[in-house]
Amino acid sequence: MTNFRNCGQHGDIHRRHFLLGAAGAAGFHLLKAHADAEEVARGAATRKTARACIFINLSGAPSHLDTFDPKDGPWNPPDVDLQQHPGGIVLSARLFPKLSGITNDLCLLHSVQSWEAAHERGQFYLQTSHPSNPAFAQETPHIGAVIARELGNVNQPLPPFLAFYSSGMQGQAFLGGRMAPLTPAPNRAGLATLEHNYYGAQSRARFEQKFALLEALDAPLRKEPFDSGMAAYASFYGSAKQMMYNDQISQVFRYTADDEGRYGNTNIGRSLIVARNAIKARNGAVFVNTMMGGWDTHQQMFDTGYTPNMYQLTNDLDRAVGALVEDLKASGDFQQTLICMMGEFGRTPGNLNARGGRDHHKSAMCATLLGGGVKGGRAIGSTTPDGANIDRPGWRGDRPIFMEDIASTILSALGIDWTKSITDTPSGRKFEYVPYAADGTYFPVDDVFG
DSSP 182: B
Distance CA 40, CA 61 (A): 34
Q: Identify the weakest region by mean pLDDT among 219-228, 301-310, 400-409.
A: 219-228
Buried b / exposed e over 123-132, threshold 16 CB at 10 Å, is bbbbbbbbbb
- The proportion of the chain whose per-residue pLDDT surpasses 90, expressed as a percent, equals 76
Distance CA 346, CA 363 (A): 7
Residue range 229-264, pLDDT digits in tens: 666 666 677 778 888 889 999 999 999 999 999 999
Cβ atoms of 346 and 63 within 8 Å: the answer is yes
| 267-281 helix and 310-331 helix, angle to the nearest 10 degrees | 10
123-166 pLDDT, tens digit per residue, is 999 999 999 999 999 999 999 999 999 999 988 999 999 999 98
Q: Would you list the DSSP string of 36-87?
A: T--EE---PPP----SEEEEEE-TT---GGGTTS---STTS-TT--EEEEGG
HSE-CB for 55 with a 13 A CA cutoff = 26
Determine the Cα–Cα distance for residues 53 and 131; give it in Å rounded to an integer: 23
| Least confidently predicted of 25-34, 51-60, 195-204, 394-403 | 25-34
Report the alpha-carbon distance of residue 200 to residue 343 in Å, rounded: 47
Domain borders along the chain are 18-188+258-449
Q: How many residues does the chain have?
A: 450
Per-chain mean pLDDT for the chain = 90
* pLDDT at 49 exceeding the cut of 50: yes
Segment 182-221, tens digit of pLDDT: 999 999 999 988 888 888 989 889 988 888 898 888 888 7
Whole-angstrom CA distances from 321 to 59, 264, 276, 415 are 16, 10, 10, 24
Question: Are 80 and 94 within 8 A, CB to CB?
Answer: yes
Band (pLDDT 50/70/90 cuts) for residue 3 is: very low
The 10s digit of each residue's pLDDT in 305-339 is 999 999 999 999 999 999 999 999 999 999 999 99
Which strand (E) or helix (H) includes residue 378?
strand 378-380
Count helices and strands (H / E) in the chain.
Answer: 9, 16
366 CB-side CA count, 13 A? 28
Alpha carbon separation from 240 to 26, 232, 316 (Å, rounded)? 6, 12, 33
CA angle 430, 435, 437 (to 5 degrees): 110
Structural contact between residues 312 and 297, judged by C-beta atoms closer than 8 angstroms? no
Q: Identify the CATH number of the domain defined by range 18-188+258-449.
A: 3.40.720.10
* 3-class state of residue 299 by DSSP: strand
Q: Sign of the CA dihedral 150, 153, 159, 165?
A: negative
Q: What is the pLDDT of residue 197?
A: 87
Determine if the pTM surpasses 0.85: yes
Residue 154 φ/ψ region, left for φ over 0, alpha for ψ in the -120 to 50 degree band, beta for the rest: alpha
* Bridge partners (DSSP) listed for residue 89: 85
Task: Compute the radius of gyration of the chain from its Cα atoms.
Answer: 22
